[in-house]
Structure 1
Amino acid sequence: MAEKGPISNFIEHHYKHFNSAALVDAAKGYESHLLENGKMMITLAGAMSTAELGRSLAEMIRQDKVQIISCTGANLEEDVMNLVAHSHYERVPNYRDLTPEEEWALLERGLNRVTDTCIPEEEAFRRLQGNIVKLWKGAQEKGERYFPHEYMYKMILSGDLKEHYEIDPKNSWMIAAAEKNLPIIVPGWEDSTMGNIFASYCIKGELNPSTVKSGIEYMTWLADWYTKNSGGKGVGFFQIGGGIAGDFPICVVPMLYQDMEMPEIPFWSYFCQISDSTTSYGSYSGAVPNEKITWGKLDIKTPKFIVESDATIVAPLIFAWILDW
């Protein structure tokens, strides 16, 4: 095992109790899983790309610390938006105090707010739109169909965006993923900005919905991938936030076990969730990991961790531990 760096040493020295101790336990569990030749899925909900998680996640990808990602359409596109429009983003530290009139003023300036960060519509969304629409139309003309992330990979690897890069490319997790052709699952892509744009072209009759592969096709692809990769130590599940990014892929195990009648299929072999959701009102995002046992997702013996805190604080620290920073 490599010698730990200053961040990891700080974590081990100070993080002894409560959520900080859970963070250390989860990081050590992740590390052990990889050392025993296990594979790991990371799921990204919320606005992790706008939070610039790529600063640590990209290196996790480059060093093969993650083998597959499930993310929302927003996270898929917002990493690339930050890549090409970073200087046009605006931070609003006093976002809690904004009046409806001040929010409207941001809209009129073409700024779409995500908590304390405003994404510039013209520079971010529209800069990508022309490139991605060409890829959609080109595929349709050839009778080809691809997944949402595959179109994004094609756009990145074409080099057409390079002249617009405004951050160090090493901090873009999508560039790292594209260069490795990392498997990505994007459930519910339709509710993203690019998904909305694609839908608008379908409504106008310029594109067919089938030109972009669907969520059902993502699930069938994942079922095949999981079946082929769950041997040995198995596949772990590292969930950042809640929502569809985690809910969708974790269900592949009970689907294979129950609906495909494959009783030999292994459960997820590690589970960690970073969440600030509480266990109330039937909240799945706030459910403790043991609830997943009843749904056939986790085994009694699966290492289970939950860190109830801000993912923008916790995830980079866990990644730092795994990267020996």
Structure 2
Amino acid sequence: MAKGEDRARGGFKASRHGDGKAQRASAAGNKSSQKKAAEQREAKGAKKVITKAASPFLRGRKIDPRKIDGTETVVQLVEQCFQSYNSGRLREACQLFTEKMLTPKCTVGLTLTGALTPAGLGMSSIIPLIEAGFVDWIISTGANLYHDTHFGLGLSMHRGDPQTSDTVLREEGVVRIYDVFFDYDVLLSTDAFFRKVIRAPEFQRTMSSAEFHHLCGKYLVEREKALGIPQKSLLAAAYRCGVPIYTSSPGDSSIGMNVAALALEGGTCVIDPNRDVNETASIVLHAKRNGESAICIMGGGSPKNFALQTEPQIQEVLGIDERGHDYFLQVTDARPDTGGLSGATPAEAVSWGKIDPDKLPDAVVCYLDSTIALPVLTSYALGKKKPRKLKRLYDRRDELMARLRREFEAANK
């Protein structure tokens, strides 16, 4: 490097260094002036706090919650007291769900991961959402659907002490999911129910997981009526309301294990994942062509990906012009920096085509336990919105698949 260049570069550095000093001096002077002004106001006993011209970062609503007195509704508690941190994100999630996702033109998909139904979330939260028309289609782990079935069969689950020794529980014939305890016979009775219904002639074919769960729901409706118990199974509720329920990994649950066992007897019930991939894509394509698509994610895992991959299936694989889901709401305890899908943020989903980039500002991620967030979200939504007309997407599967096939063929001529 030439000496002249070096001097010039050094001069630039010196100039920049000098500018930095000037900026710091200016900032210090401004703060000093602000300090003196504040002292003068205090000396005069100013009754009104004066703030400087609003910075764009100071335009948010002031944190000024009302005192909790025990008379608040959930809606009031969320709107008035959930101000910041993850309570603030839960408030934003509730508002996104009710104000944008529950419009008549929006189709809402719900994904379920983690042991939610054993904790009673199926009865307390998911069934009310289904019956109110607030959930149009579902992707769940098979385990959630298996444990949901216990309640539809009149079998009991109990609160327990999570510190109890598993060895002691094993000796007592008790199974647990953290602090949910139940008798080992609950598993055996539920297995027996599934094996009995899956042996029926209507199951002896290849089908999507939505068809499989719809048939199971039909038998659970009958069992609930026979037992004279109130509506407790989300599979039964989905059957009544025409809500298709898919599972992203049919073999990864006790339901799938029983299907596999019957195959050893010569049973011909086959759950076809190809149908699931295309049917879920057809639901999203229909939603986008007639309005908007929203995904509400409880947890993460495989159901989250299965719901979001509908857009890459439409765009990347089938070659159909599309832009991504409109609304993304996730409740999770997973971190984004470990690379797992459960913690992946909506911003990361844009590059995959999963989320419409224009709608990214509406996305909400709440880092919270789903067993806390889902009942609050449900109560808030039911308190704010009237029920929507049921879309009954299960009954329209053939129509939706026909549209997907037409657009696929047109895009690949």
TM-score bracket, normalised by the shorter chain, equals: 0.7 to 0.9
- 1: CA distance between counterparts of 2:154 and 2:73? 32
1:112 and 1:247 map into 2 onto residues whose CA distance is 30
TM-aligned CA deviation for residue 310 of structure 1: 0.9
In the other structure, the counterpart of 2:190 is 128
1:182/1:314 CA distance change after superposition, 3 Å: same
1:239-258 aligned within 5 A: 239-258=297-316
Match of 1:184 in 2: 245
After superposition, residues 157-176 of structure 1 pair within 5 angstroms as: 157=221, 159-164=222-227, 168-169=230-231, 171-176=232-237
Matched, 1:58 2:124: no
The whole-number CA distance in structure 2 between the counterparts of 1:278 and 1:144 is: 38
Q: Which residue pairs with 1:139 in the alignment?
A: 201
Task: Decide which of 251, 255, 272 is 1:194's aligned counterpart.
Answer: 255
Identity within the alignment, % = 22
Number of matched pairs: 307
Q: CA RMSD in A?
A: 2.2
Distance in 2, Cα, partners of 1:179 & 1:141: 19
Which residue number in structure 2 is paired with residue 48 of structure 1? 116
- The change in CA–CA distance for 1:295 and 1:155 in structure 2 (over 3 A counts) is same
In the alignment, structure 1 residue 278 sits paired with structure 2 residue 341: no
Cα deviations by residue, 1:223-269 (Å, 9 ceiling, x for unpaired): 22222222243110000001111111210101110111112x24111
1:139–1:145 contact (8 Å) kept in structure 2: no
Secondary structure of the 1:50 match is: helix
Equivalent residue letter for 2:265: G
The structure whose RCO (Cα within 8 Å, separation 6+) is larger is 1
Output one character per residue of 1:1-53: Cα deviation in whole Å (capped at 9) or x when no partner: xxxx8111111111011111111111111112222621111100001111211
Alignment partner of 2:116: what SS? coil
Deviation of the 1:173 alpha carbon: 2.6
For the 8 Å contact 1:83–1:165, the answer to whether it is kept is no
- Residue 378 of structure 2 aligns to which amino acid in structure 1? F
Question: What is residue 44 of structure 2 aligned with on the other side?
Answer: none
Instruction: Give the conservation status (yes or no) of the 8 Å contact 1:156–1:178.
Output: no
Q: 1:255 to 1:198 in 2, by over 3 A?
A: same
Structure 2 alignment gaps of length 5 or more: 1-71, 385-413
Aligned equivalents of 2:294 and 2:204: distance in 1? 38
Tell me, yes or no, if the aligned pair for 2:298 and 2:332 is still in contact at 8 Å.
yes
**Matching of residue 72 in structure 1 with residue 141 in structure 2:** yes
Residue in 1 that maps onto 2:392: none
Q: 2:280, 2:307 within 8 Å by CA — same for their partners in 1?
A: yes
1:323 is matched with 382
**Paired position in structure 2 for 1:16:** 83
Q: Distance in 2 between matches of 1:112 and 1:216?
A: 34
The answer to whether the Cα contact below 8 Å between 1:230 and 1:266 also exists between their aligned partners in 2 is: no
Cα distance change of structure 1 residues 64 and 129 upon mapping to structure 2, 3 Å threshold: same
Q: 1:21 to 1:222 in 2, by over 3 A?
A: same
Match of 2:175 among 112, 132, 135: 112
Letter paired with 2:133: D
> Does the Cα contact within 8 Å between 1:44 and 1:240 map onto a contact in 2?
yes
Query: Contact 1:267–1:298 at 8 Å: present in 2 too?
Result: yes
More helix by share: 2
5+ long unaligned stretches in structure 1: none
What secondary structure, in the 3-state scheme, does the structure 1 residue paired with 2:153 have?
A: helix
Q: Which residue identity is paired with 1:19? A: N
Deviations 1:136-158 (A, max 9, x none): 2223686574633123213223x
Work out whether residues 191 and 254 of structure 2, in 8 Å CA contact, stay in contact via their aligned partners in 1.
no
Aligned: 1:151 with 2:215: yes
- In structure 2, the partner of 1:313 is 372
The one-letter code of the counterpart of 1:14 is C
In structure 2, relative to structure 1, the CA distance for the partners of 1:164 and 1:129 (3 Å cut) is farther
Whether contact under 8 Å (2:206, 2:272) holds in the other structure is no
Distance in 2, Cα, partners of 1:106 & 1:85: 22
Letter of the 1:260 counterpart: L
CA distance in 1 between counterparts of 2:115 and 2:290 reads: 33
Q: CA deviation at 1:217?
A: 1.7
TM-score (structure 1 length as normaliser) = 0.87
